[in-house]
């Protein structure tokens, strides 16, 4: 699993120089899932850009570096999914391009479109809310591909939650007529305002996870308390080769 920490994260301000990219994020939770989900691990490793969306991943990557003086890991910093989102929206606004939101509910997508219409008036926005189910059927996948490819967006944002969104993007990447494909999960709710993101001061001191735990304890306690402990133990084992 060491390869997951050798993050091939193209600097975010250079993404516009590429035509088609699969952009994924890695945090402690997704690392834990990837240990037992081979397709998810493959999707992360074969992404064109793998961004450290979690300070624990940044620390782990630096600690696991074999040669800290020369390793690229020294330059890593946390880049949240929200950072990728706002960068991409600003980029597409400048070229009066198109963006597509795949995932979430019709209500959430409507709020996203309303806000984007005000903040990014030069962007054409389209959305699609797929059926909420553990596995998509062939018909579901065909419908999603058809509506996305008919629009041909400069950036496709996918919010189906991990690992579902990354695996779907990876499996259908070659069939998508798009520019950048960004798996950004919770950002849909943050931007729509249905879930409030942590205040900036908490983000700055790397405590955003704690804010989410306090707000959604029943859903997040296992992810952060159990999951983070599992992540730390996995990193320690990786470091010492056990």
CATH number of the domain residue 214 falls in:
3.40.50
> According to the model, what pLDDT value does residue 124 have?
98
What sign for the dihedral angle of Cα 209, 62, 228, 9? Answer: positive
Say yes or no to pLDDT of 8 above 60: no
> According to the model, what pLDDT value does residue 2 have?
43
Evaluate whether residue 217 is within a structural domain: yes
Evaluate whether residue 1 is within a structural domain: no
Number of domains in the chain: 1
Say yes or no to pLDDT of 242 above 60: no
Evaluate whether residue 184 is within a structural domain: yes
Evaluate whether residue 68 is within a structural domain: no
Evaluate whether residue 37 is within a structural domain: no
> According to the model, what pLDDT value does residue 78 have?
83
Residue of 88, 57, 59 lying closest to 183 (CA atoms): 88
Determine the Cα–Cα distance for residues 100 and 52; give it in Å rounded to an integer. Answer: 23
Query: How many CA atoms are closer than 13 Å to the CA of 158, on its beta-carbon side?
Result: 26
Evaluate whether residue 140 is within a structural domain: yes
Query: How many CA atoms are closer than 13 Å to the CA of 77, on its beta-carbon side?
Result: 7
Look up the domain containing 191 and give its range.
19-24+81-240
What is the average per-residue pLDDT within 103-124?
Answer: 97
What is the average per-residue pLDDT within 87-113?
Answer: 96
All residues at 6 or more sequence positions from 152 whose CB lies less than 8 Å from its CB, including other chains: 98, 177, 178
Other C-beta atoms lying within 10 Å of the C-beta of residue 197: 19
> According to the model, what pLDDT value does residue 72 have?
55
Evaluate whether residue 30 is within a structural domain: no
Evaluate whether residue 3 is within a structural domain: no
Say yes or no to pLDDT of 93 above 60: yes
């Amino acid at each position: 699993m060491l390869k997951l920490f050798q993050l091939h994260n193209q600097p975010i301000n250079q993404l516009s120089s590429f035509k088609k990219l699969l952009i994924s994020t890695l945090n402690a939770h997704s690392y834990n899932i990837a240990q037992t989900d081979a397709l998810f691990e493959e999707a992360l490793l074969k992404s064109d850009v793998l961004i450290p969306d979690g300070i624990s991943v940044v620390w782990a990557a630096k600690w696991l570096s074999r040669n800290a003086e020369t390793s690229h890991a020294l330059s890593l910093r946390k880049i949240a999914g929200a950072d990728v989102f706002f960068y991409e929206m600003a980029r597409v606004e400048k070229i009066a391009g198109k963006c597509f939101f795949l995932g979430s509910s019709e209500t959430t997508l409507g709020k996203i479109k309303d806000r984007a219409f005000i903040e990014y008036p030069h962007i054409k926005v389209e959305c699609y809310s797929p059926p909420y189910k553990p596995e998509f059927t062939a018909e579901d996948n065909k419908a999603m591909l058809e509506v996305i490819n008919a629009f041909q967006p400069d950036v496709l944002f996918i919010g189906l939650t991990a690992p579902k969104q990354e695996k779907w993007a990876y499996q259908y990447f070659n069939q998508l007529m798009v520019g950048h494909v960004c798996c950004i999960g919770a950002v849909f709710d943050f931007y729509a305002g249905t879930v409030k993101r942590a205040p900036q001061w908490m983000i700055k001191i790397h405590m955003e996870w704690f804010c989410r735990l306090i707000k959604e304890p029943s859903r997040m306690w296992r992810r952060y308390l159990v999951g983070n402990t599992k992540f730390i133990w996995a990193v320690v084992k990786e470091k010492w080769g056990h």
